[in-house]
Amino acid sequence: MQLKLKIAAVCATLLLSSGVAVAEETLAEAMFTPLRQKEVHAVTNKQYKDECGSCHFAYQPGLLPTQSWEKLLNETALAEHFGENAELDADVLAPIKAYVLENAADKSYYKRARKIAKATEGVEAPLRITEVRYIKRKHHEIPERMVKGNKDVKSLSYCDACHTQADKGVFDEDTVRIPNFPDWDD
């Protein structure tokens, strides 16, 4: 283990002295996170998936920071959850909230989640994933007719309408298929 740390320190020194930078992450984060994944962690909590997924796509906790989830999962907010009553009994809410907060973007080691966390630093915590600066930037070139004007999509909030592996936490461009626009390639 000691040898690995010495090798990592030498590599870090070489990279820093060569002027190579790691985009949107510190070198330490990039180098010392051995199990780092590209996307966001898939939903693994059955209770969260069942309760939240019964009304809409069960969004991965890594798509929003802790502050956003805290705002969304309080009793008052759930009583008026985007125009719907999504209240949960306290004994059901507690483990769901714990799961979501433990896996929020700012606590994740997944690369896309870290980018979302960075994009939400220093701004008011968004209540909608579609309000996250990073998410907006990733979708800015898609014409409105392909989303709002598309009967099979309707809104960017329906992630799984176009992201064919969204349930696995994969939002890679290679897995995007926009319904009714088979030949569109961004």
Kindly give the interhelix angle for 46-53 and 90-102, rounded to the nearest 10 degrees.
110
Q: Which two structure tokens, joined as six digits, stand for 120?
A: 């939400």
Interval 12-67: pLDDT, tens: 444 444 444 444 444 445 444 555 678 999 999 999 999 999 999 999 999 999 99
Mean pLDDT across 168-176: 93
Q: Buried b vs exposed e over 84-117: b needs ≥16 C-beta within 10 Å?
A: eebebeeeebeebbebbbebbbbebebbbbbbbb
Q: What is the per-residue DSSP string for 92-157?
A: HHHHHHHHHHHTSGGG--SHHHHHHHHHTTTSPPPSSGGGSHHHHHHHTTS-HHHHTT-TTT-STT
**pLDDT at 157 exceeding the cut of 80:** yes
Interval 80-130: pLDDT, tens: 999 999 999 999 999 999 999 999 999 999 999 999 999 999 999 999 999
Residue carrying structure tokens 């809409």? 56
Contact 120, 65 (CB under 8 A): yes
Residue 125 to residue 158: CA distance in whole angstroms: 20
Whole-number pLDDT of residue 182 = 87
Helix (H, G, I), strand (E, B) or coil at 176: strand
Whole-number pLDDT of residue 184 = 73
pTM of the model: 0.78
Q: What is the per-residue DSSP string for 76-92?
A: HHHHTBTTB-----HHH
The domain locations on the chain are 2-31, 46-175
6 or 43, greater pLDDT: 43
Whole-number pLDDT of residue 37 = 79
Whole-number pLDDT of residue 38 = 86
Whole-number pLDDT of residue 113 = 96
Q: Buried b vs exposed e over 153-177: b needs ≥16 C-beta within 10 Å?
A: beebebbebbbeebbebbbeeeebe
**pLDDT at 142 exceeding the cut of 90:** yes
Residue 54 to residue 56: CA distance in whole angstroms: 6
